Structure 1
Amino acid sequence: MRSSSIVLGAAVALGLAACGSTPPPRPTAPPVPLVSTAKMAEANLSSASASLVSGRLALVPDAQGVHITGVIGGLQPLQTAAFHVHERGDCSAVDASSAGGHFNPGAQPHGRNSAGAHHAGDMDNLRADAQGRANVDVRLPAVTLGGGAATDIAGRALVVHANADDYRSQPAGNAGARIACGVIRVTR
């Protein structure tokens, strides 16, 4: 009888231990890949806030997000200017305020594209040359081009600001007036 009591006690102890243990972690789903449906888009920037700034930019999706290239002119020689994707593709207001705030589908704080938490539309500052031209060659990660996903920047606006982005002031980096604005339009 004693051996059956020991066996029964051991079985009860094992059963209780099994009930008290945490279940093994479930595997997490892999992140949803960013999928762009457009092959290319462009943004023709027009002056805002009585500036002379304008430019033409091409946007092409790649494995990291969207690659933006082109030239912006009319800046002050050697000017450093903030550059962002804004939430609305509306540049109709004289000061481009119609473009709304920074594109921020993830509800993140404002910051620097190349480090730490930031809006999806935050990009590093542009730097003009001695003739007031800025050559743009920017990769914007974690966004898509076309398809209508929350990360889609097609139909939104690219905005150049008068001042450099300080990357910390909320919600827009103390970037100053909007001096150029262009709607991102899918071309193919």
Structure 2
Amino acid sequence: MKKWSVSLSILLLLIVGCSGGERSPLETSVYNSENDKIGTAVFTEQPEGVQVKLKIEGLEPGMHGVHIHEFPKCEAPDFKSAGNHFNPLAKEHGLMNSKGAHAGDMPNVEADASGMIDTELMLPEAKLKEDQMSLLRKEGTSIVIHSGPDDGMSQPSGDSGDRVACGKITLNADKDEASDPTEPDKKQENN
């Protein structure tokens, strides 16, 4: 009986330990400067880094810089509260910079003629697990979309224009109840 009790205790500890550490995939809502939800970013831990699936609408057609920023704060309308790029290794900015890139630097994304982005990106140095490179360290980070493309070199942020959309990357990010405009409205489908 004592062996069963010890075995059961160990099993419960493993279950609780694993479920409390679940960080991947993590979905966050992305908002524009009017605080309207315009889509989602889904972060998934992979062996080669963190995969980011972006599904956004309502942007100006064309190229946009997208970065991970250091604070989980998205105060509209300018999103300056998100701070600088996520850069725990103190590198220079830019995917084309021999002294870079920031851990939060990603390739530009293109919004189609309707203003929609539906793409996948990779953050090769980032993690979701607890670590110096974790997007969830301390309180978390944020994902920011800019009005123009990142030039891949200019310091400190690629001359990519205004911050036009932002989403908080936190352990509770996927608890957002706002509807996703990029998904069909379930209420309308049932009518």
* TM-score after normalising by structure 2: 0.72
Please give the secondary structure, in 1, of the residue aligned with 2:170: strand
Partner of 1:13: none
- Residues 143-163 of structure 1, C-alpha deviations (whole Å, 9 max, x = no match): 11131x210112210000001
The reply on whether 1:117 has 2:100 as its aligned counterpart is yes
Query: Aligned partners of 1:60 and 1:130: how far apart in 2?
Result: 28
The reply on whether 1:97 has 2:80 as its aligned counterpart is yes
Please give the secondary structure, in 1, of the residue aligned with 2:120: strand
CA distance 1:167–1:53, change in 2 (3 Å): farther
Tell me which of 145, 148, 160 is aligned to 2:145. 160
Query: Aligned partners of 1:87 and 1:168: how far apart in 2?
Result: 19
Partner of 1:135: 118
The reply on whether 1:66 has 2:50 as its aligned counterpart is yes
Amino acid at match of 1:69: K
- After superposition, where does 1:35-114 map in structure 2 within 5 Å? 38-48=23-33, 54-77=38-61, 79-112=62-95
Q: CA deviation at 1:136?
A: 2.3
Structure 1 gap ranges (5+): 1-35
CA distance 1:139–1:183, change in 2 (3 Å): same
Q: CA deviation at 1:94?
A: 2.2
- Residues 89-124 of structure 1, C-alpha deviations (whole Å, 9 max, x = no match): 000242100000000001000011798720000000
Partner of 2:157: 172
- Residues 36-67 of structure 1, C-alpha deviations (whole Å, 9 max, x = no match): 9622211211012x597821111110001101
RMSD across aligned positions (CA): 2.4
CA distance 1:132–1:114, change in 2 (3 Å): farther
Structure 2 gap ranges (5+): 1-20, 176-191
Q: CA deviation at 1:127?
A: 0.4
Amino acid at match of 2:80: S
Q: Percent of aligned positions with the same letter in both sequences?
A: 35
Amino acid at match of 2:153: R
* Contact 1:75-1:133 within 8 A present in 2 as well: yes
Partner of 2:109: 126
* TM-score after normalising by structure 1: 0.73
CA distance 1:52–1:183, change in 2 (3 Å): closer
Query: Aligned partners of 1:41 and 1:88: how far apart in 2?
Result: 17
Query: Aligned partners of 2:58 and 2:98: how far apart in 1?
Result: 29
Tell me the number of residue pairs that the alignment of Structure 1 and Structure 2 aligns: 150
